[in-house]
């Protein structure tokens, strides 16, 4: 195989990275890459463990003079997101990536590159094999299936890890150090539904709320955009007492972590009340456009009349509970961090709303970097739901990583960064989950920072790794290890 990256520096980092790219390693397809890491350890007489999930740990003793320093963990994930262009014939199960070097970047032809997070693995292995690098006792920890819910880290037995510092090399912006992340869970509220036949003189109407911007419930929740489900609640409350109607269908979003950008219900409306429905909807639409001016300018409430004049609708009790829940369930930013400016500490998003068979389901994504706040918000929803006779449950719980006021690792990284770059790095946090949350939760006193070289457009076919950035971050990492 012709080597594409062998003229790049740091040489070994890119050589190893190229070997990793030759091994298919999408999430859930990590046998081979995991085995590669094990073989690497064997070749270099390093102790290693591999668990049944394919998580790999490789340990290396402290260099001379560092024997009594607390150990360091270097961590990244083995799996990558597999995306390709519609034309591409690439088979992620068996083909290696076709690497290209262009304009100072490494990318892969027609596919994602897996710089996220292959570069962490390449850095760690390059450190493990180099006897001239100074560092305390080191553990390279490679997890699997990070990209599909951090499954590897979640399933990992961490009791054998001794490091007191953890360098998570899974951030994609050079000069930005992440120091906290959110924990989260998905909440599912089920309103039991019975149906009634319609006896009034009615017509079926579709009520649709569209044109909202939506967005990711972690990164975009801070923008204060409208949530279609909450707007629907507001409309239903306004209809109480002035429009006689029954709901027959509800179709809202299907992902709890996407800000709801549209929702549609079908309702049987008493014919003589249809004009009132139109007026109320129009008036609300105007109010909303004023309220959300500059942040969600396209909100539209549309009413369409269908020919249908009979059918079944949910009981008035279920309709009442739905209205109450949509109006009163909390949504959006609950608290901003008082330690980090501009960081959302606790939030929730009502992303799912639909009527299926015998229940209306309302799904929320709850996030907080403070564990107790996350659970308090869950309990608030649970209390609200159960008070109304609904079921409430959660899935997909993952822990948060709270900002550490006192961090020796962060201080050393700050110091080295300023020396090497002549400026201060950005210290920040994200309102989304990272594997760091799981390590922080399991390893207690561990001191963690997440960082990495510039990788642009991750998770897309345009993903590309900045070569010069890889070299700077390599030098930076070596100096940090030396001072630990
Ligand atoms: Zn990643």
What was the pLDDT predicted at 146?
Answer: 94
Which of these is catalytic: 18, 19, 79, 466?
79
Domain identity same for 348 and 473: no
CATH for 251? 3.30.70.360
Q: Among 396, 429, 462, give the residue marking a domain's end.
A: 396
Q: Among 396, 424, 447, give the residue marking a domain's end.
A: 396
Domain identity same for 244 and 150: no
Would residue 80 count as lying in a domain?
A: yes
The band of 208, judged by pLDDT with boundaries at 50, 70 and 90, is: very high
Q: Is the pLDDT of residue 444 over 60?
A: yes
Domain identity same for 228 and 93: no
Which of these is catalytic: 18, 146, 174, 382?
146
Alpha carbon of 116 to ligand 1 centroid (Å): 5
pLDDT in tens, 141-195: 999 999 988 999 999 999 999 999 999 999 999 999 999 999 999 999 999 999 9
Would residue 3 count as lying in a domain?
A: no
Would residue 6 count as lying in a domain?
A: no
208: annotated active-site residue: no
- Give the 3-state secondary structure of residue 233: helix
CB distance 245 to 265 below 8 Å = no
**Overall average pLDDT of the 435-463 stretch:** 94
What was the pLDDT predicted at 2?
Answer: 64
Neighbours of 8 (CB within 10 A): 19
What is the number of domains present in the chain? 2
Domain identity same for 381 and 272: yes
Alpha carbon of 471 to ligand 1 centroid (Å): 19
Going along 217-290, which residue ranges are E strands? 245-251, 263-270
Q: Containing domain of residue 130, as a range?
A: 11-182+401-483
Domain identity same for 55 and 118: yes
Question: How much is the mean pLDDT over the chain?
Answer: 95
Domain identity same for 205 and 143: no
Alpha carbon of 260 to ligand 1 centroid (Å): 26
146: annotated active-site residue: yes
Alpha carbon of 391 to ligand 1 centroid (Å): 35
What was the pLDDT predicted at 109?
Answer: 96
Would residue 2 count as lying in a domain?
A: no
pLDDT in tens, 53-82: 999 999 999 999 999 999 999 999 999 999
Using CB atoms within 10 A of its CB, is residue 203 exposed (0-12), middle (13-18) or buried (19+)? middle
Strands 138-143 and 56-60: antiparallel
Domain identity same for 124 and 253: no
Domain identity same for 417 and 339: no
Domain identity same for 321 and 206: yes
Q: What is the pTM of this model?
A: 0.82
Would residue 337 count as lying in a domain?
A: yes
Domain identity same for 212 and 334: yes
432 vs 138, higher pLDDT: 138
What was the pLDDT predicted at 248?
Answer: 97
Q: Is the pLDDT of residue 1 over 60?
A: no
Domain identity same for 370 and 412: no
The band of 271, judged by pLDDT with boundaries at 50, 70 and 90, is: very high
Q: Among 396, 424, 443, give the residue marking a domain's end.
A: 396
Would residue 407 count as lying in a domain?
A: yes
Alpha carbon of 455 to ligand 1 centroid (Å): 10
Helix (H) or strand (E) holding 356: strand 344-356
């Amino acid at each position: 195989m012709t080597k594409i990256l062998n003229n790049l520096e740091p040489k070994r980092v890119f050589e190893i990275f190229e070997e990793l790219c030759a091994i298919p390693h999408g999430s859930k397809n990590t046998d081979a890459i995991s085995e590669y890491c094990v073989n690497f350890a064997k070749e270099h007489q390093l102790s290693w463990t591999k668990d049944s999930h394919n998580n790999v740990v490789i340990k290396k003793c402290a260099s001379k003079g560092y024997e009594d320093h607390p150990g360091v963990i270097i961590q990244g994930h083995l799996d990558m997101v597999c995306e390709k262009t519609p034309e591409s014939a690439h088979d992620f199960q068996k083909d290696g990536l076709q690497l290209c070097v262009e304009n100072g970047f490494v990318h892969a032809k027609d596919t994602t590159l897996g710089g996220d997070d292959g570069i962490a693995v390449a850095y760690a292995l390059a450190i493990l094999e180099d006897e001239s690098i100074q560092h305390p006792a080191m553990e390279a920890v490679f997890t699997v299936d990070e990209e599909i819910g951090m499954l590897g880290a979640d399933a990992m037995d961490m009791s054998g890890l001794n490091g007191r510092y953890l360098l998570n090399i899974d951030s994609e912006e050079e000069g930005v150090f992440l120091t906290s992340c959110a924990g989260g869970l998905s909440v599912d509220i089920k309103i039991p539904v019975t149906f009634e036949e319609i006896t009034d003189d009615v017509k079926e109407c579709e009520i649709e709320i569209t044109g909202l911007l939506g967005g990711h419930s972690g990164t975009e929740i801070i923008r204060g955009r409208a949530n279609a489900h909450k707007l629907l609640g507001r409309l239903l409350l306004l209809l109480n007492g002035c429009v006689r109607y029954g709901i027959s269908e509800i179709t809202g979003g299907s992902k709890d972590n996407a800000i709801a950008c549209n929702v549609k219900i079908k309702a049987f409306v008493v014919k003589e009340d249809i004009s009132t429905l139109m007026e109320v909807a129009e008036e609300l639409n105007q109010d909303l456009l004023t309220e959300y001016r500059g942040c969600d300018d396209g909100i539209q409430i549309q009413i369409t009349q269908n020919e249908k004049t009979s059918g079944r609708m949910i009981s008035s009790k279920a309709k009442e509970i739905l209205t109450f829940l949509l109006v009163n369930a909390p949504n959006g930013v609950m608290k901003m961090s008082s330690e980090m400016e501009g960081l959302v500490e606790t939030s929730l998003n009502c992303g799912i709303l639909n009527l299926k068979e015998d229940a209306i389901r309302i799904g929320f994504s709850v996030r907080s970097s403070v564990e107790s706040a996350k659970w308090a918000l869950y309990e608030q929803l649970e209390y609200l739901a159960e008070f109304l006779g609904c079921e409430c449950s959660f899935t997909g719980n993952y822990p948060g990583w709270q900002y550490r006021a006192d961090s020796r690792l962060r201080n050393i990284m700050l110091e080295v960064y300023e020396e090497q770059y002549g400026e201060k790095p950005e210290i920040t946090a994200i309102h989304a989950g990272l594997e760091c949350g799981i390590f922080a939760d399991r390893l207690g006193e561990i001191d963690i920072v997440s960082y990495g070289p510039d990788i642009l457009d991750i998770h897309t076919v345009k993903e590309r790794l900045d070569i010069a950035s890889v070299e700077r971050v390599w030098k930076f990492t070596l100096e940090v290890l030396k001072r630990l």
